Structure formats: C-alpha cells, structure tokens
A and B are shown apart, each in its own frame.
Chain A
Amino acid sequence: MTPSYPISPDAQPRVVHTFDVPTVRQSVYRARLRYARWGLLPVFAVGSGLTMLTLAIVDTASRYGAEWPPALFWVTLSMFFAAAAGRLLSERITPAERIGLVVLVGLTFYAVKVLAYPSQLAYFDEFLHWQTVNDILQTKRLFSPNTLLPISPLYPGLELIASAITQLTGLNVSESGIILIGVARVLLMLALYLLFKEISRSPRIAALGALLYTCHTNFLFFSSEFSYESLALPLATFGLFVIARRLRRRDFDVVRFALLILLLVYAVAVTHHLTGFALAGIVILWTVVSLFRIRGSRAWLDLALIGAFTLLIIGSWTTYVGNTTSAYLGPVIQTGVVELLRRIAGENIGRELFQSSTGVVSPSWERIVGISGVAFILLMLPVGLFFVWRRYRRQALALTLGCLVLIYPAMQAFRLTSRGWELASRSAAFLFLGIAFVLAVGFVHLFSGRSRLNTRLGRTIAIGYMTVIFVGGAISGWPSWGRLPGPYIVAGDPRAIEAQGIAAAEWVGANLPPKSRIGADRINMLLMAALGNQRPVTHLSDNVDIADVYFAPELGSEELLLLYKMNVRLLVVDERITTGLPVLGAYFESTENGGRPHKTPPTLSLLEKFDGVQGIDRIYDGGVIKIYDVSQIAKAP
C-alpha cells in the first residue's frame, strides 16, 4: 500500500521504544516508582506494632496494679496519632499511602480494646450480644428472648454473622466477635475515606477526615465493642458512599446500584435501630439540601427515591420486628430532655462532669484536656464550615454534613444530665461524620499551598491541636477506671469480670438446667447468661427489681411473693458488693433503690439472710460468691 505522504528515500526508519524488554535502569526506575506508592506506610506499620507492644506492656503492668500505665497509655496513643496526623496533613504523599495509613490507624486503635482483654469479650454490651449469639447457636432460630437486652434479638445482623463464623470456623463466640469487629473496623475506615473523597475529590481531605473521625468520644472503646452499632455504622457509611458515587459518576447502572443499596440498607435495618434512623435521617436531609441548594439538578429526585426506600425498609423492620424500639429508646430521650430543661431552669440535678458515681474525680489534666477537646472542635468548626461553603457549596452532601455539625453543640448540653449523657455520647459516632469532614476541610485549606499558616511551626501547632481533640474525645468517652484492665472494682464491668465469677457461671452452666430464672447483680447476671446459659430476671424485661430481694433486711412475704411471681430458681450472692459503692451507680440495675444513688454499700448481713432459711438450698460456695436454690420456697406464696 502506498503511503499518502511523501517519504524521503534516505529517511531512516524511526525507532519506537516500546520497552518490551526494559533495560536494567528502566526496571529499577519503575520498581522505585512502584515502591514509592506506599511511601512511609511500612515505617508506620512498624510504629503501629511498637504502639501495640507498648499497650500490651501497659495493660500487663496495669493488671499487676502498677500506677504508671495510664501515663504511658496516653503518651503512646498521642504519639501515634500525632505522627499519623502529621503525615496525612502533608501535601506530598500518595493516595495509596494515605489509604493504608487510615486503615492502619483504625486497626491500631481497635487494638487498644482487644489488647486489654485479648481472649474474651469483657465489656457490658458485649455480653448482651454474646447472649443473643448463644441463643441462635442453641435454638438455630432467631428472635429468642434475651432478658439482658430485649431489643438485641430483634436486630440480629451482628449476631447472625458471628454465629456463621462460629459455626463454620469452630472458633468460640469471643474470637468470632473480635475478628468480625476488626473487619468492620477496616470497612469503616475505607468507607470514611471513600465517602470524604467522593465529596471533596481530595485524597488529603479524605484521609485527614477519616483520621479525625477517630477523635469521637466512643471510637477507642464503645465503637470497638462486639455490639450492633460497631457493625451497622460501617455499613451505613459505606451505603452513603455508594449513593454519593452513583449520583456523581453514574457509572453504576440502575440495577447494580439498586441491588447494592437494597442489600446495604436492609443489612443496616436488621442490625441496629439508631444507625438505621441516622442513615434515613441523613439521606432525607441530603434530599432537602439538594432540593433547595442545587438548582437545576435532578439529583434530589433520585435522593428522594432512595430516602423513601430507606425509610420504608427501616420503618418496616422497626414496626413489624423491632417493635419495642420506641419503648427502649423513648424513655432515654424523654428523661434526658426533661432533665436538661430542669437543669436549665436552675434545679440542682443531673450529673457532674469527670466524676464517677463513687465520687472519684478525674485528674485535673484529664478535665482540662477533655474540655479543651470539645472547645477546640467548637473553635475550628466555623473555620471548617466557612471553607465548606466556599469550596463545596454546590455539593449537597458536603452541605448536609455541614448541617449535621450544627447539632453537636446542642448535644454537648446533654452531657450534664444523668440519663441524657448517653444520647450525647451515642450521637457522637453519627455527628462526627460531619464534624470530621468539616474539620478536615478546615485544616487542609489552612495548611495548603501558599497559605501563611503553612509553615513547619503552623503544621506542628495543627498536629498538636488535632491531638488534643483526639485525647479529649477519648477521655470524655470512657471513664478512667475502665480504660485499662486491673484489679477488681465493684460493678466495674470489665474490671469486675474475673476468675471467681467465671468459675461460678461455668459451674452453673455445667450442672443446672438451662434457662432457669436467676437473680444476680449486674456482673454475675452477664456471666450467668453468657457462660451459664441461664435466664436472668431483669427490670428491663420483667419490670421488677430483683435488687429489692437482696436489699431487704429480711426475707419477708413481699420478697417471697416476688420470687414466686418471677418463678426464680436461683439467687447469686456476690459478697464483694459490700466492699464498696458501685462505680457506675448501680449494683444490679439503674432502677434499684428507687433510682437514687447509694450512699453506703449494703451490709453483709443483708446478703446472709438466705442462710438457714428452710427450703433455701445453698448449693454453691466459692468464697465470695454463693448460689442459692430458692425453687422450693418460690413454688408457693
């Protein structure tokens, strides 16, 4: 074929280098480029390993009663956070390194909880869900009643996956739970990065936002527990990312998108009530913002459809299956609001910050950093909101997250109430989706390019600022006695779970009929349910206070009637409750003693009243723990 353009007969054929067989130099150069993608991530991985090792040393020393571990605990976590913040604030690192670092930070902070109790679930809420898993494993069906947390079997997403892992792998429930929440943590960090990246289109903002999300009050402990929110939140965040991705890029076809979002919303709906409501709420708010803010776009219509669909699924599940949700959540919200209003009116009620029920006050540095953390967030939010408005005001989701932030100051007021503080604490995980994004936008724009603040000193101050927010959040979220393992504390959840209680529960599990109705204090109730396979009598489920039987001066007709009505077979007496006030305010349940705080511990004579009563068998004596069989006297009033 004759070429249509003139070619000089002298012309040399042009050599095109296709690099099919690269030279050594080219190979080395390409390899270096490839390896450079991960930057300092391997070094940070070693840093993470050292952090974990130090935490293990801290935990072990704390178990032996040493006093220095809390200081080293905070120094270790602060250093790791500050190093990660410094690296992620930097402008010159690759997205791959940022993503790796975000996941590494999430896992390292998950290790804080795992290393404290590495072989068994130990926190209060973990036992509640452990019980539901046990019921699934035993009955092979869902929705068996769980008297510790009646709502838990109605949202069985977490427990279903845990039971699948337990049954297929042969691991025990604790191991399955630890692995499952670890995987959920990875998903959460990736979902946060992807969501923020989708909104901002900046890997720097995305990674810094994901890092700042770890500053919320519950990230280190509560959100690491084997609990339904720890799974539902990553799924919901991922769901938000999928919606944002579809709306922006439209490279998913409708079928794929609908399938993905259906699965995700349904999984959230069957896993956790609050997260379901939060997801529906955010999507609806997003729709409204989109309708009023983004003119000429039809995105609001898509969002309205998704919102309606989300609301339908979550509402249906709540109405037809989780029908006790309003009874469970309603009183907490109602009491919290009433208490707050009474406090505003000047009544001396509510809760003192940084003070436990036993009157122990946190160290002054913790109070200062805790309050500074909140103040630093409140100071930085207007800056972040300004930059969000300036750069992302045509992004409906960015504005939605900005709106979410406005709830944060109001929720802080609930921290001053005794029931409502839980609202403030639990809402942090959702509100920080907005706070983390807004703060990240603020920090990145203040410390970018030619900004006057973008100096070494400025960045150092910013890193310190973020570290105070992180440490302040962790301090506010969890009491000092619960952060590290150690010697026994009365009613101190993980600190009260030890060998004698476990031995008693295992003995009951091995020797007594399953699901016998049992009365026990807060800690033994958990152990008897999860390890002893018994059915505790609780106020939440039975609307009676079994504590009345224990605190009565003698076993009179009222107490016998209560035992009869509740068909109680066993009573567990833990004499250690006489050694101090309960650190969380209650020996049994928060309704005991008429809801009033205890001023002195019960006397031993109150607990010894079961001895010698005809018809009450003392079937177990383990020293501090005694178990009584009251089935003979509970048969007739």
Chain B
Amino acid sequence: MLDLLFICLYTLAGCAAVLTKLPVPALRAALTLPMVLFMPGYALLTLMFPRRMPRAVERVAMMLGLSLTVTAISGLLLNWTIGVTEGAWLIILSAIIWSACMGAAIRRLLANKLLTPPRRYRSPLSMRQYALLGTALFLAVGAISLARYGEATQPNEPFTILSALRDEKNGARQVRIAITNEEAKATDYYLEVLLNGKAVEQRIPVTVSAKAIYTYQLVVSERTTGKVEAQLFKSEDSANIYRSVTLWLP
C-alpha cells in the first residue's frame, strides 16, 4: 500500500512543480521525469498484478516498457482531442497513474493484500559495495563534467556577425544594423553606412564587449529607394572590409 501512496503523492508533487513553474530546474526535473518514464508503468503493473508481482528484473523492464508505451499512446489521444500541451500531459498522465493506483488498491483489497505489512527493508549491498558504487557515480559525473568542459572550450575561430534588417513603422523605413561580437574579447570596430554609394555615416568608432550586441538604426523616408550598405572594419585593419551587408529598398 505504501508504494501506491508514495506514487500518488509523488505525482501530486510533480503536478505542483509544473503548475507553479518551480524555479529550480533540477528539482522540477526530478519531480516530473518519473511521471513520464517510470510511474505510469509501475502503476499499471500494480493494477495488472495485484497478488504477486513478476520478478524484479521483469518488473523493471515492464515498468519502463509500459511507461514509454502508455506515454506514446496517450500523446496520440491528446492529439486527437485537446492537443499536446503541458496541461494536457499533466492531466492524462496523472489520471493514468492515479486511476491505476486506485484500481490496484481495490484489487489488492479484494485479494486481501492491501494491509499486508511490508517486508522489513534489508540493504542489498554492503558498505564496501556502496562505497564502490559511490566511486563509480563520482567518476561518471566527473566524466560528464569533463566532456562538457571540453565541448565548451573547444578551440573555435572567433568571429563577428554583422546583420541588417528592414523595418517599416509609421510611414518611415528603418534599417536596423547590428554588430554581434563573438571574438571572445572586447573589440574595436569602425562602422560605415552608405545609401546608394554615398556615406550616411562615416566610420563610426564602435567598441563592443565580448558576447555583446551593438545596434545602429538608419531611418529613411518611405519613398527612398536604392541600396543601403553597411561595412564593418576592424580597428587594427581599417583598410579592409571585415564584414558587409546590403539591403535593397524597393
């Protein structure tokens, strides 16, 4: 009975985590992940086998297999009804888990198994075995951390993005030019903006910090046509165009 109660309460906590948009991502994941991957299967398993559950290995396999299966098929039902939304998942998975648990409780009651005292817990592992498993877990976490560190620090060519987008508001045309610095350090640039070959802005000095975005807006009348060009130079190589973008105003 305790297992069913635990599952129902855990599911309730998962629902609360989703509904309150729990701001601790790891805790929210820990509370809700079993609702998809483990609990529907376990609940259905207890419903199907009220008297005697299958052996542990079969139980685990059935729990995983049933959970994945039930979630996939529930998704199809949601698609054909209210849509595959966060709330819909919450409703259907909680309903499956709770109703299966209630069904299992009733079947256990009928089988006179509901109030069977749980077996005394005995640790399956010795302290030394726990220590070894702890070491293994530590090594695995270390491996993932190292891999993520390697991925984040992989040598990449630094770069700068120059972009231009047209915007039309209140009868005026705007050209939004942006410099995004991905050079991994603050960088000095010169920005030149030309309209039909004539400089609108001559070599504006711009310093953009790492990962920051500098935005320049050019406003022209609705009737202006022709080519708008933005050219970016690096201060240490101001003779050569580093990046350039072009917009045609029809």
Contacts and interface: CB of A to CB of B under 8 A. Distances in A.
Interface residues of B, number: 84
B147 interface: yes
B197 interface: no
A439 B75 CA distance: 39
B150 interface: yes
A188 to B, nearest CB: 10
A111 B126 CA distance: 27
A370 interface: no
Interface residues of A, number: 96
Interface in A315-331: none
A35 B122 CA distance: 11
A282 to B, nearest CB: 17
Nearest to B61: A190
Contact of B33 (A165, A235, A621): A165
A43 B243 CA distance: 57
Contact of B86 (A168, A183, A270, A622): A168
Interface string A3-46: 00000000000000000000000000001001101100011011
B77 to A, nearest CB: 10
A465 B129 CA distance: 31
A620 B163 contact: yes
B144 A56 contact: yes
Given A35-B125, A170-B28, A164 B143 contact: no
Chain B interface helix/strand/loop/mixed:
helix
A60 B147 contact: yes
A263 B73 contact: yes
A80 interface: no
Contacts of A241: 61
B200 interface: no
B134 to A, nearest CB: 9
Contacts of A59: 147, 150
B137 interface: yes
Contacts of B149: 60
Interface in B17-55: 18, 25, 28-29, 32-33, 35-37, 48-49
A499 interface: yes
Interface string A118-130: 1100000000000
B62 to A, nearest CB: 8
A48 B136 contact: yes
B60 A118 contact: no
A527 interface: no
A124 to B, nearest CB: 18
A201 to B, nearest CB: 14
A364 interface: no
The 7 A-B residue pairs whose C-beta atoms are closest, nearest first, are: A49-B139, A60-B150, A160-B75, A42-B132, A45-B136, A52-B143, A267-B69
24 contacts: A35-B124, A42-B129, A45-B132, A59-B150, A60-B147, A64-B154, A161-B71, A161-B75, A164-B71, A165-B37, A170-B32, A171-B25, A241-B61, A266-B73, A485-B154, A499-B156, A503-B161, A503-B180, A504-B161, A611-B246, A617-B166, A617-B245, A619-B245, A621-B162
